[in-house]
Every structure is written in structure tokens, then in C-alpha cells.
Amino acid sequence: MRDLLRVPVGEVVDLSAHDAAVTPAGPRDKAAGRAETARTGKPLAALQERLWAASTAGDRRRILLVLQGMDTSGKGGTVKHVVGLLNPSGCRIRAFKAPTPQELAHSFLWRIRKALPRPGEIGIFDRSHYEDVLIARVHGLVPRSEIEDRYDRINGFERSLAEDGVTVIKCFLHLSYDRQRRRLLKRLDNPDKHWKFDPADIDERALWPAYQEAYEIALRRCAAPYAPWYMIPADHKWYRDWAVGRLLLEHLQALDPHCPAADFDVEECRERLLKQRDL
Amino acid sequence: MRDLLRVPVGEVVDLSAHDAAVTPAGPRDKAAGRAETARTGKPLAALQERLWAASTAGDRRRILLVLQGMDTSGKGGTVKHVVGLLNPSGCRIRAFKAPTPQELAHSFLWRIRKALPRPGEIGIFDRSHYEDVLIARVHGLVPRSEIEDRYDRINGFERSLAEDGVTVIKCFLHLSYDRQRRRLLKRLDNPDKHWKFDPADIDERALWPAYQEAYEIALRRCAAPYAPWYMIPADHKWYRDWAVGRLLLEHLQALDPHCPAADFDVEECRERLLKQRDL
């Protein structure tokens, strides 16, 4: 899946040329997809445990899964269904909202650095520092020259992460304009989902072409060998979850973490335990 | 389950009178228990979403699940198997280790306060402030008068949490001395689990009676109507997980959180969405 979904480095990105409803290399339908995603849980959790175990012996490696996408593209759903397969105690999840006054008083990477996974952990960003070249660009929140500068700073930042043992997996959940309308209407149809709806989402939707362009530039400028972007067709939720799960699994398999060997005398410990008197 | 497992308030606790291998009101065996725990996932996650939704409209309620128990009693396993049923984005998990020099420079509740769940969240403590009256008591880390003082401060702290909308669920995972030996030996048998083993665990095990006494005192002094202790028979992992899952479910059902109603004009939003032109 990594080779199939990876955004080529240094090439122009045209989102309109990518169908968001395709299911490349995926299971044949929703039922099969859901079942296969569920089956990924066991190997995922086993590899996650080994990643954590290795960290107890000084291995600094960890994973950072970055989820980006338009409203209703399923960032939250991916956390629920894919990250939900992992052992929650080894996950460090952060959803980034509009920056607070305190956060705005710092560099845009300040709050990102504070939320990074520690060695052995799997970090998950629901939105990320990319908002600072997406919404910030579309709404002109900072001068264009500052936006230009940010792509370079993001690249430098992500390179330093990779050098520090962080496997950065950036997923763009690619949703179609029509599918977004259907999902927003569905939220309106269900009173239990009204809390998820904000009328301002409709105004943002009107800026769809500008957002697509901002994504195309971000994907082109920040797709790097040390921090690849993956384009996940996201019109089908089951495919989106399956694909992100596969990506996580393949990266963990490539890391191939190992449980550290005992740094104590196993036989002596066994004897001591067996000799301890009964109560 | 709440009534069945709750430690009575104000009564002497004698752990030796409680069999750790019983399965009161539980499913008939391991297979049925595992299946029933899995089935709890859906209603748990649905209630958790409503708890979170309510918080977006100002509801300050949240849950704090405190897990305590002897080594190998299954605190980590409970997080994996029970908390793993929830949406990880609404969970705030903290495992407390030996306090750092910075933490020791503050009151013992300082690091606890920093890790509390925010409104709408489910907080999980793997160990907690109770270590400060358990290991601290057994090893005489502070004067006995300070330990005595701490029970009162814990009660005052937990009362203030309850008044601020925190449902405190304290679970003592009650393990037998024999079962602990079996589990420690099993870790030694499996090289993939050696990283979990510390020879110092054997020395701690030699202090079993002192720890049991420290737990009995903590349960008696800090079982309160606003922050009850539950005693979970933990020799059977499947029962432990099932019981903690049930407790969580019952507390969430009692909270009965509701998704807030729309604070916008649903019909008007629907029309605006339908009128937005195609790309």
C-alpha cells in the first residue's frame, strides 16, 4: 500500500485527477473491508507492544500518524476505527483546533512539538501543523511570504523528526465535493449528530477550490522521502480505514522492533520465586 | 455490578476473606466472558460519544477510572482490553511510575491534578495517588503521621472532584498470592515478556502481607459515597475485564448524557447546502 498510495516526491499534484471513490488493492466490498480491518488488529497490537518494549531498552523509534482532510473526510472516524485497534496506553493522540492566544504567541510549530510521541509510542495528529499552510493560506491569516517560509520550516522540522527516530506517516484523506455534501446533510438529518455540525462549515465548503489548491501545494512542497504523504481515497469509509490500517501495519513491519533480552539471570529469578514460602 | 462489588463504606476490610478467583454474577466461562465483554464495546462507545457531545455544550461531567492492584494483577491488561473498547480520542490515560525529582518537589497530588480528565473525557489512571499510601507506607518512605494525613487529603481531593462533575470509579484488582507467582513464572518462561520483568518484583512480593494490609487500610479509609472503591476478583483475567467493563457501562448509563440540541436553524442549513452550486 505504501508504494501505491504514496504521493510522488517533487511532482505537481492535481487532486481533480484522483477519484476519491476508488478502492485500489482493497477488499472487494464493505463487509470484506470491515472484516479485514478488524483482523489487522492483532498483528498491529503485537507490533505496537514490541515497539514499546524496545523503547524500554533505549530504542528511540516511534510513529507519528498525521491525519489531514476536508471536513467530514473522516479524521475522527479513522482515530476511532483504526487507532482503536491499538493498545490505547501506547498512543498519544492530539486533535488540533484553532490555536489559542497562548499558542499564537509562539511559533506555529510550538504546540506541535509539545504533542509529539515519545519513544515507543504511536502518536496521532487529528489535523496538524499543515493547517498553518492550509486554512492560513485560504483565509490569508498571515502574509503569503510567511506561508512560503512555512513549507521550508515544515520540511526542516519533519527531517529532524526522522533523524530522531520518528517514522512520519502523513495521510491526506481525499474526499469528493459531492460526498462531503451528503455527509453534511446526513448530520443534519440526525439530531444526535447536530453537535458535530457548525453552520460555518457551509461557508468553508464554499471555499472548496481554494482548499484543494492549498492541499495540492502542501502535498507537492512537503512530500519528502523522510516524511511521505499518502493520498487515501476517502469516499468509502471502509476503504479509508482499511488503507490507513494497512499503512500503519506495513510501517511497523518495516521497523521490525524487537523485545529486548533479559538483563538479569532468568534461572536465578525462577528459583527465587519457587523458593518463596507460602503465606 | 456496582452494588455487588462496592466496598462498604466505613467497614473493616479483610482481603483474606475475599477469594480472588470467584466470578460473581459473571458469564459462565472464559469464552462467554470474552464475548460478552466485546459486546459491551458498542453501548460503551455510544455512551462515551454522548458524554463528549454533552461537554461541547458545557456539561462538565467526566469519568475517572482508577486502577490499583499488586504487580501482575492486570492494570495494563484492563487498559488494553476494556479501555480498548472505547474511542481512544476521548480517553486520557496516565500510567504513574515512581515520582520524578520534580514531582517529589511538589505535593503528592500535584502530578495527579495535572493528569485529570477534562469535561466529556474518560480518564484512566494505571496506579494513582494511592501509591502514596501503599508503597510509601510499606517502605516507610515518609513518616507514618504523613501517611495518616494523606488519607484525609485524598478524601478531600476526591470529594472536590465529585463536586466538579467527576465520577470517580476506583477498582482494586484483587489477585491471590499464588496466582501472582504463576504469572511471574510465566513471564520468565517467555523471552518476549522478559522486558516486563524486574527482579525487584520478587523482593516486593516478599512484602505481600504488608501490601495487603496497606490496601485494607486504604480501602477502609478512602471508600466514600462520592468516590467508591470496587473490589474486582482478578485471578481470572476474563472476569476482571468483564467486571470493569460492566462497571464503566453502568456508571455511564447512570450519567445518561445527552447530545445537545442544535443551536442553529437546521432547515436553513439544509437549504444552503442544497443550493451550493456544483464545482
pLDDT, tens digit, for every residue of B189-225?
Answer: 999 999 999 999 999 999 999 999 999 999 999 999 9
Sorting pLDDT into bands at 50, 70 and 90, what band is B278? confident
The upper half-sphere exposure of residue A201, i.e. CA atoms within 13 Å in the direction of its Cβ, equals 22
Query: What pLDDT does A277 receive?
Result: 85
CB contact under 8 A, B181 and A276: yes
Q: Is this complex scored with an ipTM above 0.90?
A: yes
B57 touches chain A (CB under 8 A): yes
Shortest Cα–Cα distance, A180 to chain B (Å): 10
Q: Do B208 and A274 touch (CB under 8 A)?
A: no
How many contacts, defined by CB atoms under 8 Å, are there between A and B? Answer: 135
Asked whether B230 and B173 are in contact (CB, 8 A), the reply is: no
Neighbours of B203 (CB within 10 A): 10
Stretch B164-179: mean pLDDT: 98
| CA distances (Å), origin B272, targets A185, A188, A200, A202, B36 | 10, 12, 11, 8, 45
A88, A192, A260 member nearest B93 (Cβ)? A88
Q: What cell does B48 get? A: 462515551
Q: What is the pLDDT of residue A81?
A: 97
Of the candidates B88, B193, B273, the beta carbon closest to that of A91 is on B88
Q: Which three cell numbers stand for residue B93?
A: 490515560
- Please check the confidence at residue A28 and state whether its pLDDT lies above 90: yes
pLDDT tens per residue across span A207-257: 999 999 999 999 999 999 999 999 999 999 999 999 999 999 999 999 999
CA separation for the pair B268, B265 (Å, rounded): 5
Contact B276 A206 (CB under 8 A): yes
Percent of chain B with pLDDT over 70: 100
pLDDT digit string (tens) for A185-213?
A: 999 999 999 999 999 999 999 999 999 99
Q: Is the dihedral of CA A203, A207, A211, A212 positive or negative?
A: positive
Q: Looking at residue B81, what is its pLDDT?
A: 97
pLDDT per residue as tens digits for the range B115-147: 999 999 999 999 999 999 999 999 999 999 999
Q: Which of residues 214-253 of A touch B (CB under 8 A)?
A: none
Q: Where are the domains of chain A?
A: 2-275
Is any Cβ of chain B less than 8 angstroms from the Cβ of A118?
Answer: no
What would the mean pLDDT of B94-112 be, rounded to a whole number?
97
Using a CB–CB cutoff of 8 Å, tell me whether B93 touches chain A. Answer: yes
Question: What residues of A are in contact with residue B89 (Cβ under 8 Å)?
Answer: 76, 79-80, 83, 93, 95, 126
Q: Which 8-state DSSP code applies to residue B25?
A: T
Give the model's confidence band at B277: pLDDT under 50 very low, under 70 low, under 90 confident, else very high: confident
Is the CB of B270 less than 8 angstroms away from the CB of A188?
A: yes
Record: contact B87-A87, CB cut-off 8 A: no
Contact across the interface for B194 and A56, Cβ inside 8 Å: no
Task: Give the DSSP H or E segment for B243.
Answer: helix B237-255
The values of phi and psi at residue A93, to 5°, are -105, 135
Q: Which pLDDT value is given to residue A69?
A: 98
Distance separating alpha carbons of residues B229 and B18, to the nearest angstrom: 15
Closest by CA to A138, choosing from A188, A71, A195, is A71
Residue B48: which of B248, B262, B271 has the closest Cα? Answer: B248
A192 contacts on B by Cβ (under 8 Å): 50, 53, 259
pLDDT at B250: 98
Residue ranges of B 31-50 with Cβ closer than 8 A to chain A: 45, 50
| Amino acid B279: pLDDT | 80
Average pLDDT taken over every residue of chain A = 97
pLDDT of residue B149: 98
To which residue does cell 494525613 refer?
B149
Cα separation, A11 vs A33, in Å, equals: 31
Cell for A115? 504533542
Could you please state the CATH topology (level 3) that the domain comprising A2-275 is classified under: Rossmann fold (3.40.50)
**pLDDT tens track for B220-258:** 999 999 999 999 999 999 999 999 999 999 999 999 999
CB contact under 8 A, A262 and B191: yes
pLDDT computed for residue B39 by the predictor: 98
Cα separation, B144 vs B111, whole angstroms: 22
Report d(CA A215, CA A152) in Å as an integer. 15
Distance from A92 to chain B by nearest Cα, in Å? 9
The number of CA neighbours under 13 Å toward the Cβ of B36 is 19
pLDDT at residue A45, rounded to an integer: 97
Tens of pLDDT, residues A48-104: 999 999 999 999 999 999 999 999 999 999 999 999 999 999 999 999 999 999 999
